[in-house]
Amino acid sequence: MGPLGSSSLRGLVSDSMANQSLLLDACGAINLAAAEDLDTIERALDTGFLMVDQAAPEIGYLRAEAGGQIVRAPIDLRPYLLSGTMRFLQLAEEELPQYVRLATMVDDGEAATLAVAESRGLQLATDDRKARRLCVELGLLEPIRSLHLLRSYFDATALGEQAVRERLVRIRDRASFRPGRTLISSGGPHTSVKNDRRDRILSH
């Protein structure tokens, strides 16, 4: 069994999902892309990542510094698609009615992601509050948070405190993942985090 089924995630995801792929929404993909370790995370957790086509356009940008100014840097998933770390999924015809129904409650990408997770029994990874609530209503497995994925990754690779801190700061500064000060200063994910999806793309 791979690290995904280890004690750091046991209770959040069933052992039967170990060595299989996780379905990401745009929010989760942004946070993991900001860590700049997506390929390494895939190998360390012995899992791949999936996204539905409708969620990909919602990924948008990461914050970056250029010439002393904060700019928007488009997230490029092509390297992860080429390496096989990530795969895109299309909605099946039988998933369309549920997709349309859910799209009245959440955005298109979230609706498609939830419809696919329900139809195909996939484990979803998301920090989006509304999506997590709908998972409960749909009877889906409890979604995995970005924090728990990162914790499992840190444990599996035995990263030092400085390396952990650098990745958490990157995510805090570049994406929507907001670790608390104690979390970053301690160099490890041992406290709660905040996630503000509205901050994932810089306002004009």
Q: What is the mean pLDDT of residues 159-165?
A: 87
The pLDDT value recorded for residue 180 is 47
pLDDT at 47 over 80: yes
pLDDT at 169 over 50: yes
Q: What is the mean pLDDT of residues 142-154?
A: 88
The pLDDT value recorded for residue 38 is 86
Mean pLDDT of the chain: 78
* pLDDT tens profile 90-147: 999 999 999 999 999 999 999 999 999 999 999 999 988 999 999 999 999 899 998 8
Q: What is the mean pLDDT of residues 28-47?
A: 86
Listed residue (90, 86, 84, 119) closest to 102, CA to CA: 119
The DSSP-derived string for the chain is --GGGSTTTBTTB-GGGTTSPEEE-HHHHHHHHHTT-HHHHHHHHT--EEEETTTGGG--EEEEEETTEEEEEE---HHHHHHTSEEEEPPPGGGHHHHHHHTTTS-HHHHHHHHHHHHHTPEEE---HHHHHHHHHHTPPPPBPHHHHHHHHHHHHT--HHHHHHHHHHHHHHSSEEE-HHHHHHTS--S-EEE-GGGGS---
Listed residue (180, 186, 181) closest to 154, CA to CA: 186
Listed residue (201, 199, 204) closest to 73, CA to CA: 201
Structural domains of the chain, with CATH: 3-146 (3.40.50.1010), 160-200 (no CATH)
The pLDDT confidence band at residue 19, using thresholds 50, 70 and 90, is low
The pLDDT value recorded for residue 61 is 84
The pLDDT confidence band at residue 176, using thresholds 50, 70 and 90, is low
pLDDT at 15 over 70: no
Q: Which pair of structure tokens corresponds to residue 17?
A: 């999902």
Matching residue, tokens 């509304």: 130
At 153, the amino acid letter reads: Y
pTM for this predicted structure: 0.75
